Structure 1
Amino acid sequence: MFLTLSADPRSLNSGSGNMGEHVETLVIGAGPAGLSAAHALARAGRTVTVLEAQAYVGGAARTLSFDGFRLDVSGRRLSSADPAIRAFWTALLPDELEIAPGAMRLEGEGRARRGQPGAALGALISAKLRPIASSKTLGEWLTRRFGRRVARRLSAYAEKLWALRPEETPAQPACPSFRSEAGMRPRQGTGQLWKACAEAVAQAGGEIRLERQVDGLRRDWSTGVWTVSTKAPDGGEEIFTADQVISTMPLRELMGALTPTPISLFHACELMYRDQVTVAFTAAPGRRRTPALAEIHGASIKAARARALEGEALALDYYCFEGDALWTADDETLIAQASAEARRLGLVAAGSVRDAQVVRQRKVHPIHDEACDEHLKMIGLDLRLHFAGLHLAGRAGAHGDSAEDQSIRTGLSAAASVLSRVVAPSRIAA
């Protein structure tokens, strides 16, 4: 078996020549969740093939290189309280991890604040003395943790992230986004970790096939075997069969690709995701030094995060819906907007922006509104009853929470289910 880092048809089984290739486990998606699952399975001696729609591994956790700077698309640190996940990172990159500072907070055009919000001490003490009994919404959780005054300031960031007010956002899936602990990062960017993981999968006998867009999944009731169809790089169709499938593709898209049509498809169609647009550029520094990572809480600034890159480069991250005005805007418009906001934040000098790049990434944050729990409950029941041998992993794949280690955790959990011969899908954590 081999690791495919290109999609040259001459080096792959592609087109109509590949009909019904069988593998023990198919993994859909070569992002952190899919690669974590494949790594665990391959090291356990199982045959595993990863199908990735894009021409690269890592998904949103990939690192792009431009003239003068590297850009981690997701901008996320490696942060986890789970010893098994920390051991997973260090085993892959034993000498390449360094400390990454926690997030700072930019109050719009005001000054930056480090660590957890806590400026309104009186409101915070009041919240501690008269706490809300239980935090059902993100707004209640923020008030309990930081006090009402600071919670109101954080609302703007929450709305940028999920397009929902904190009062409309369930607490549990959202809370990890407001914890700013320090973490780790690979010296050459987050993508270094997932390239190393992909290489380890190949060395253990697994296979990764790029530019394989999965467009159909069907389970044979009599044999329990899954048939998965993909579009190959040459435009032809490839068919794979597998005993079990681990899917990291967005849950809404997965449900639409299943045959027969799931009873819960209506519920899946109600699931929503936030997409990300990142504008990165080099520029002369302004009056304020760009933090390594800063959440922008000012409502007058549309960017949600600012990040320092190598040299004099920085990036602004925007969250939107695929197809809306921000997502479809041309690069020149986005660069002009990001440049203007960076100047207002004091991060760059006027007229100094150059070498700008725009990167769009789909489905980076699942949205959890008030109806999401019920939708996920019905989807989970449907999958357990009718689609045995299908396991969900990843943030978008399991429509999970915002914890930094969510993708890896669900990938390892799905692999453990396969190794334990559990055929029912893992319960969706709403």
Structure 2
Amino acid sequence: MEAARNPLIIGAGPAGLTAALALMKRGITPRIYESSADVGGLARTPTSGDWRVDPGGHRFFTKSEEVSDVWRSLLPADQWVSVRRSSAMLVNDHLVRYPLLGRDLVTQMGLRSGIRGLASFFWPKLRNSMAPVNDSESFSDWGRRQFGRYWYELFFDGYVRKTWLTNPENLASEWANQRIKPIGWHRSREPDPLGEDAFRYPVHGPGQLWEAAAKKLADAGVDICLNCAVTKIHHTGRSWTMELQNGETVSGDAVFSSMPLRNLIDTLEPEPPHRIRATAATLRHRAVITVAVALQKRYDIPYNWVYTPGKNVRVGRIQNYGRWSSALAPADWNGTYLGLEYFTLPEDDLWVASSESLGAIVEQDLRELGVADSPLDNVIIVRSQFAYPIDDKARERGVARIRDYLRQKHPTLHPIGRNGMHRYDNQDHAMLSAMHSVSRYMGENVDPWQVNTGRSYHEAGLKN
């Protein structure tokens, strides 16, 4: 019976490749169609000579042993490094550790700022100590209640507007519960380097893992077609036919799609009802432009990620690649290798800016950051158009409407992964959605949409 199965997979990112691995494990050979020239999606590792770029700063952590087993099966132990989480927020020329520590907020920002923050922090808690928590509150309401107005506006209001391109009033608080930790008042000053703040990372960047997955699949006879964008997906009632950008067509009994959910609806034939197409049209993505700059001068930056919520710079987040893996830069190079991340909408001015215009913005930011006096050894620009689904209050209802329509009309069409399900999932969640979708395809009673639906999910470090 299994010999008749011939599923098609759209996308060779973490979700698509994981679906293929899960199918292969069950003795089924899928075919994969990837619109770009690379595997890995946002978790790819573009290269320029001996320079490597991580476009998104990928921490490899998970609470799932099933996901851990996949990672371990693809790369041997000597191809992983342990990276201690060490993040900060650059506010008023101060690098303040994140997650926020009470002692830093009280002492590091100056006495007046500390007193103001404490008053702002405790006043709403005293005033609202008996009030029930409103599950429908906005991110801004949640932030003011959690941190106090002063610290919320100092650290998080600008962060959400710049990094998430969203008005905090339109962002649901449940997103915050998953992503932002409360102030720590009793944490030790230095985290255990092998404890809850340590994460795995491939020696040569995240793409190393997914390139290994692609090789394993290719060696097993799985066809991965790169530069094969899917333009039409036609359902006959018994099978699926996909039309590729080059005019070719392919057919199969099921489709696993990690392409943006909005695009999936646009490509379906017969055309979905107007209400479904209108709902899909409201789904938006953030793009990210990562500019990797290699500074000859060495700066002592004790963090692997620095968030920049202030208005004085355009960059939203900075990766310190030397704190991720020394192999991202050439051997014996001793400068400072940074990845400046610029978040934008796919149609906005920054996305369509020329290299000269973008270069001027980067140069200005480097001046504001105080590192413009160092000569540059290398600059790499990496653009990722559909990097992150934008979350807002209407997203959940809209995605649920599309999900229910697809389940009713097209039960053999399986949206998977961050873009396929239009949810801001971590890499392990994207993989789990693919695994569960394969199980559903095989007739098991499992719901991929229940992955990462808990109210609270925070990063956890290495367990073994």
TM-score grouping bracket, smaller chain normalisation: 0.7 to 0.9
Letter in 2 for 1:319: F
Residue 3 of structure 1 aligns with which residue?
none
Aligned residue for 1:10?
Answer: none
Q: 1:280 maps to what in 2? A: 292
Q: Which amino acid aligns with 2:279?
A: H
Tell me, yes or no, if the aligned pair for 2:429 and 2:452 is still in contact at 8 Å: no
Partner of 1:134: 134
Q: Any idea what SS the aligned residue of 1:72 has?
A: coil
Which stretch has the larger CA shift, 320-329 or 282-291?
282-291
Post-superposition CA distance 1:184-221 (Å, at most 9, x none): 21011000010111122223442211111101111112
Distance in 1, matches of 2:248 and 2:141, equals 50
Q: Which residue of 1 aligns with 2:267?
A: 257
Match of 1:8 in 2: none
2:343 counterpart (294, 300, 319): 319
1:209-224 equivalences in 2 (<5 Å)? 209-221=225-237, 224=238
Aligned: 1:340 with 2:402: no
In the alignment, residue 139 of structure 1 is paired with which amino acid? S
- 1:183 correspondence with 2:192: no
* CA distance in 1: counterparts of 2:168 and 2:90, whole angstroms: 18
Deviations 1:87-112 (A, max 9, x none): 22122123122222325123245121
Distance 2:32 2:5 in 1: 10
2:56 alignment counterpart: 74
Counterpart of 1:414, as a letter, is: S
Name the SS for the 1:240 alignment partner: strand
Please say if residues 391 and 425 of structure 1, whose CA atoms lie closer than 8 Å, have aligned partners that are also in contact.
Answer: no
State the distance in 1 between where 2:166 and 2:348 align: 16
Structure 1 pair 35–154 and aligned structure 2 pair: CA distance change class (3 A): same
Q: Name the CA distance, whole Å, in 2 between partners of 1:227 and 1:423.
A: 26
Q: Structure 1 residue aligned with 2:239, among 225, 234, 246?
A: 225
Name the stretch that deviates more: 46-55 or 250-259: 46-55
Give the aligned CA root-mean-square deviation in angstroms: 2.7
In the aligned structure 2, how far is the partner of 1:282 from the partner of 1:423?
A: 47
Aligned-residue offset at 1:114 = 2.3
CA distance in 2, matches of 1:351, 1:314: 13
Q: 1:128 to 1:31 in 2, by over 3 A?
A: farther
| Structure 1 residues 323 and 225, CA gap change in structure 2 (3 angstroms) | same
Q: Tell me which amino acid in the other structure corresponds to 1:229.
A: E
Residue 354 of structure 2 aligns with an amino acid whose one-letter code is: D
Matched residue count:
402
Unaligned runs of 5+ in 1: 1-21
Compute the displacement of 1:369 (Å).
Answer: 1.6
Structure 1 80/419 Cα, relative in aligned 2: closer, same or farther at 3 Å? same
For 1:113-152, what aligned pairs fall within 5 Å after superposition? 113-118=96-101, 119=105, 120=117, 123-124=120-121, 130=128, 133-136=133-136, 137-152=138-153
CA distance in 1, matches of 2:218, 2:50: 31
**Counterpart contact for 2:297–2:374, Cα < 8 Å:** no
Deviation at 1:325, TM superposition (A): 0.7
The runs of 5 or more residues in structure 2 that have no matched partner are 106-116, 182-195, 322-328, 330-334, 454-464
The share of aligned pairs that are identical, in percent, is: 29
Compare the two structures and name the one with the higher strand fraction.
Answer: 1
Q: Is the 8 A contact 2:429 2:451 kept in 1?
A: no
Q: Distance in 1 between matches of 2:118 and 2:197?
A: 20
Task: Tell me if structure 2 keeps the 8 A contact 1:102–1:115.
Answer: no
User: After the TM superposition, which of the residue ranges 370-379 and 119-128 deviates more from structure 2?
Assistant: 119-128
Deviation per residue, 1:141-182 (Å, 9 max, x gap): 434544433222211111112211222101334554435954
Q: Any residues of structure 2 matched to 1:233-248 within 5 Å, and which?
A: 237-248=247-258
Q: Secondary structure at the match of 2:420?
A: helix
The answer to which of 322-331 and 105-114 deviates more is: 105-114
Q: Which residue is 1:157 aligned to? A: 159
CA displacement 1:26-59 (0-9 Å, x = unmatched):
1100001101111111111112111111111111
For residue 402 of structure 1, report the CA deviation from its aligned partner. Answer: 4.1
Distance 1:127-1:414 versus aligned 2 partners, 3 A rule: farther
* 1:392–1:426 Cα contact (<8 Å) kept: no
TM-score after normalising by structure 1: 0.85
Which residue in 2 is equivalent to 1:105? 88
> What secondary structure sits across from 1:107 in the alignment?
strand
CA contact under 8 A between 2:88 and 2:303: conserved in structure 1? Answer: no
Counterparts in 2 of 1:295 and 1:50: CA distance versus 1, 3 Å: same
| CA distance in structure 2 between the aligned counterparts of 1:428 and 1:228, rounded to whole angstroms | 28
